[in-house]
């Protein structure tokens, strides 16, 4: 009970940002975080036994997000607040139509493959260590490093195109 109130509830914005980075839809991200909290509430008696509660909670949100897409996925692309994330060929043109540079970067980030996007979010935005990210995503630390390197490289390349050529 203490764990739930004092350690998990304060994570709500972090959980929301992470869910948003995966599903790219605010309402859906909020619903999934709510689902995660209800699930956590139901298992609150076991929370005291969890070694890294924050990583465990983040992992639960990740699994809910992925399960959601597995259940609903037969898609060609995810529509994220009006931006097609998956159609890589068409995305740069659409991106250049955006006036705000931050929106452009968001669109670029959303074009990252799912796992790179999750690693990017956890490292760049939430500042988790490679070890924690590996624990949350249930992948190896080497895989985390490879993913963050590729994500940064992609972001950097796309960002330079926007800055230098207005693409």
Partner 1 sequence: MDFNQIDLLLEKFWEGNTSLEEENQLKAFFLNTHDLPSKYDADKNYFAFLSKEQKINIPSADFDQQLNTRIAKEQPKKAVSKLRYLYLNFTSVAAAILIVGGSLVYMMRPSNTEILMTIERNGNTIQITDPNEALQMTKASFKSINKTMRQSKKKLRPVKNIRKIDIIK
Min dist CB 75 to partner 1, Å, is 24
Q: Which residue has the tokens 């931006």?
A: 83
Residues 6+ apart with CB under 8 A from 133: 119, 122, 123, 144
Q: Which of these ranges, 45-53, 56-64, 73-81, 158-166, lies near partner 1 under the rule CB under 8 A?
A: 158-166
Structure tokens that stand for 13 in this block: 């914005």
Cα–Cα distance, 114 to 133 (Å, whole number): 14
Q: Which of these ranges, 58-66, 84-92, 105-113, 135-143, lies near partner 1 under the rule CB under 8 A?
A: 105-113
Counting contacts by CB under 8 A, is residue 82 touching partner 1? no
Binding residue for partner 1, selected from 45, 88, 94, 156, defined by CB under 8 A: 156
Three-class SS state of 80: strand
Residue 162 contacts residue 101 (beta carbons within 8 Å): yes
- Per CB under 8 A, residues contacting partner 1 are 12-13, 16-17, 20, 26, 30, 33-34, 37-38, 41-42, 101-102, 105-106, 109, 121, 124-127, 129, 145-146, 148-149, 152-153, 155-156, 159-160, 163
């Amino acid at each position: 009970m203490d764990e739930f109130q004092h350690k998990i509830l304060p994570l709500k914005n972090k959980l929301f940002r992470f869910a948003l980075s995966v599903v790219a839809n605010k309402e859906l991200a909020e619903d999934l975080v709510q689902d995660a909290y209800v699930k956590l509430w139901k298992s609150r008696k076991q929370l005291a036994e969890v070694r890294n509660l924050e990583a465990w909670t983040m992992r639960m949100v990740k699994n809910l997000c992925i399960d959601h897409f597995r259940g609903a996925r037969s898609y060609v692309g995810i529509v994220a607040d009006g931006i097609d994330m998956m159609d890589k060929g068409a995305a740069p043109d659409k991106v250049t139509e955006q006036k705000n540079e931050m929106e452009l970067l968001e669109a670029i980030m959303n074009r990252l493959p799912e796992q790179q996007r999750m690693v990017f979010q956890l490292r760049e935005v939430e500042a988790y260590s490679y070890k924690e990210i590996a624990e949350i995503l249930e992948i190896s630390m080497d895989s985390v490093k490879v993913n963050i390197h590729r994500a940064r490289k992609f972001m950097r390349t796309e960002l330079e195109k926007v800055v230098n050529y207005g693409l």
